[in-house]
Chain A
């Protein structure tokens, strides 16, 4: 099984094509990121397990505690026009690492708790969902 090892040893670290393809891939994805965020969100929709459980307008500072299970929860905070997850006791706490956001179509996801927060712009059809 030394053949692949020897082959890699003798290979060049990158090919000329890589200098084109890889930066192109990075640029294309960066562009896609930029195009997919129109900005200007006005309210946040909170989905638990696919169902809309709460709508929080971003202009009102508020807190919403979502209970996933016995003792397992996420605290969703709207402050200063942005929404974030201020506390979570899920397995990975990735949801708490999202920077507070107010960009429309941006989202915050807590996968272990099946929680999805989506920021929307424009008119809000609901005054509040409980």
Chain B
């Protein structure tokens, strides 16, 4: 954090991510046969933080969102899969933005990181239950991730397009 303005901006992104997470937790699943999947608008704020302020602040937003989100929604167990999934998708985003961008688009990075997020959740479920049956969910969760990533990618892109540089450059 180089300035208090930046600290406040990152804090606001964290709060927005948390609010988005809480609201989404009240909504029904995105696809009827893909329970537990959401569009994941909170990841829009994590990605935004990554693009605006870099990976350390994005990681902060992610951790705040996962930790407080689990406590506020009364489901601390969710940390078991939401934190690894969030970390995996953030890691993929960071790698792609650093290495592949702009040869790949924002949309592509969003889709890949959303799919990674969901697959990581399945892996964590597999690790806990130790039953290969859960792997049947990989295609379901990939489809859900592709759709979610498309929506969130559009949000991230158009948000960055709309934000004036002097506002965020702190």
Q: Is the CB of B75 within 8 A of A91?
A: yes
A13 partner residues in chain B, CB cutoff 8 A: 105-107, 154, 157-158
Chain A positions within 8 Å of B133 at CB level: 107, 116, 118
Q: How many A residues touch the partner, as a band? A: 35 or more
Name B's interface SS.
helix
Closest Cβ of chain B: how far from A29's Cβ, in Å? 4
Q: Would you call A32 an interface residue if the criterion is a C-beta within 8 Å of the partner chain's C-beta atoms?
A: yes
Number of A-B contacts (CB under 8 A): 127
Count how many chain B residues have C-beta atoms less than 8 Å from C-beta atoms of the other chain: 52
Q: Which of B35, B131, B157 contacts A8 (CB 8 A)?
A: B157
In the complex, the answer to whether B129 meets A11 with C-beta atoms within 8 Å is no
Given known A-B contacts A12-B105, A18-B108, A22-B108, A36 and B129 have beta carbons under 8 A apart = no
B-chain residues with CB within 8 Å of residue A26 when the two chains form the complex: 143, 146-147
A11 touches B106 (CB 8 A): yes
Q: Judging by beta carbons under 8 Å apart, are A8 and B129 in contact?
A: no
Q: Which of B16-24, B61-69, B83-91, B96-104 contacts A (4 or more CB under 8 A)?
A: B96-104
Q: What B residues does A116 contact at CB under 8 A?
A: 129, 131, 133-134
Interface mask (B114-139 → A, CB under 8 Å = 1, otherwise 0): 01000000000100111101101011
Q: Which residue of A lies closest to B158 (CB)?
A: A13
Of the A-B pairs whose beta carbons lie under 8 Å apart in the complex, a sample of 9, sorted by A's number, is A1-B53, A5-B169, A7-B102, A14-B107, A18-B105, A50-B131, A90-B77, A109-B134, A116-B133
**Residues of B bordering A, CB below 8 Å:** 28-29, 32-33, 35-36, 50-54, 74-78, 80-81, 97, 101-102, 104-108, 111, 115, 125, 128-131, 133-134, 136, 138-140, 142-143, 146-147, 150, 154, 157-158, 160-161, 165, 168-169
